Amino acid sequence: MSFTKVYLQAGRDEAVRRFHPWVFSRAIGRYEGNPQDGDVVEVYDRKGHYLASGHYHDGSIAVRIFSFGATAGGPVTPDVDYWTQKLRHIHSIRQAIVTGNRGAGPTNCYRLVHGEGDGCTGLIIDMYNGVAILQAHSIGMHRERLLITEALKNVFGNELQAVYDKSAETLPDEYGSSVVNGYLYGHTPVPHPVQENGNTFLIDWITGQKTGFFLDQRDNRQLLAQYSRGKKVLNAFCYSGGFSIYAIKAGASLVHSVDVSQKAIALTNQNVAANFGETDKHEAFADDVMHYLKGNGDHQYDVVVLDPPAFAKSLTARHRAVQGYKRLNAEGLRRVAKGGILFTFSCSQVVDRELFYNTIVAAAIEAGRQVRVLHHLSQPADHPVSLFHPEGGYLKGLVLWVE
């Protein structure tokens, strides 16, 4: 099988040689062929030395690499055997860092493939107790979905109950408008129960956000449990109540969950009931978080969690996002009792770790609170960041002791 060849300009191949998975359009000197969006292309330097293979897209990022020549040994054909070998290797890593770690309790939900961090640019696969949720962020990866489904069947065998494609919302608009989410293999009714560190969650990948659950907060939820015993806890932007479940199980005296979405509140209440049945330790509120924080006067919590959705998805929105984070955290700090704890997060990729830290500093000054940093938080090991692609480190958080 022959693929279009992309030749880079002189001096523009160093990023690829350093294993950065993106080739920008301005780095390309010429094409041998006429690639269309989603096509597999081979990347060469100006002298014709093979460097990598990837998916083409007519845009700023012209090639998203999934195989480097230095590691693959030469041009590859992304067939079922290729994807089976790649996914089997990634799965072996996941077994070591997630499913093999039973210290906090059984876990059967995790991220199997994390885009660039696993050498699969444009591809996310989350595993929920035998069900694989595939989410493509590029046309090329979406076109590989049937091969990837066969590869998943080879890797997991009878353990694989179903594969569901949830890519319509994450693909480029024109292409994505014709994509319909649905099962690629098998069928499993939702909500589907999973275990995370011994806690039960009911997952609905069909109507839920992202792939159905925010797996990237698993380790941070476990850390929250260490600070929750006997405490009054506020979980703001609760979605399906992940932090709330951990706090209740750890022995919190009271947990309040807040989200503007009534559907999110219903999910939270379902998950609380699945773990604890009827309990007077939890109450959920469908309310705008800022309205809730401002409307509760001098009400104080021992532990406050602020885990908002991304405030900025582009550089043009960054300034407004920073101001939003500042206002939110200043108000959140006012609701933390003296000697209490604030867990605060940002998943906005364009707000880097230093900017987020400085924003929280500004919020603490505005709130007039003395604050100590106890932990710097990030995404868990099943959301790895390639050493050569630091842009993949999107989740950042702080645990603060508030005087």
Ordered per-residue pLDDT tens for the chain, 403 residues: 789 999 999 999 999 999 999 999 999 999 999 999 999 999 999 999 999 999 999 999 999 999 999 888 889 999 999 999 999 999 999 998 886 666 668 999 999 999 999 999 999 999 999 999 999 999 999 999 999 999 999 999 999 999 999 999 999 999 999 999 999 999 999 999 999 999 999 999 999 999 999 999 999 999 999 999 999 999 999 999 999 999 999 999 999 999 999 999 999 999 999 999 999 999 999 999 999 999 976 789 999 999 999 886 677 778 888 999 999 999 999 999 999 999 999 998 889 999 999 999 999 999 999 999 999 999 999 999 999 999 999 999 999 999 9
How high is the pLDDT of residue 133?
Answer: 98
CA dist., res. 346 & res. 397, Å (int): 6
Structure tokens at 185: 């293999």
Judge contact between 226 and 197, C-beta under 8 A. no
How high is the pLDDT of residue 101?
Answer: 63
How high is the pLDDT of residue 89?
Answer: 97
**What 3-state class would DSSP assign to 162?**
strand
- The bridge status of strand 4-8 relative to strand 301-306 is unpaired
Judge contact between 355 and 364, C-beta under 8 A. no
**What 3-state class would DSSP assign to 368?**
coil
Q: What's the helix, strand, coil split of the chain in %, to 5?
A: 35, 30, 35
Domains and CATH numbers, the chain: 4-72 (2.30.130.10), 80-191 (3.30.750.80), 214-402 (3.40.50.150)
Q: Which residues contact 2 (CB under 8 A, 6 or more apart)?
A: none
Judge contact between 307 and 237, C-beta under 8 A. yes
Judge contact between 101 and 94, C-beta under 8 A. no
How crowded is residue 55: how many other Cβ atoms within 10 Å of its Cβ? 27
CA dist., res. 272 & res. 262, Å (int): 15
Judge contact between 334 and 236, C-beta under 8 A. no
**φ, ψ for residue 210, nearest 5 deg:** 50, -125
Q: Which of 109, 120, 238, 347 is catalytic?
A: 347
Judge contact between 123 and 90, C-beta under 8 A. no
- The bridge status of strand 162-165 relative to strand 336-346 is unpaired
Annotated catalytic, 347?
yes
How high is the pLDDT of residue 267?
Answer: 96
Structure tokens at 5: 């060849």
Judge contact between 156 and 87, C-beta under 8 A. no
**What is the H or E stretch that residue 183 is in?**
strand 182-186
Cis amide bond preceding 21, omega within 30? no
Q: Is the pTM of this model over 0.75?
A: yes
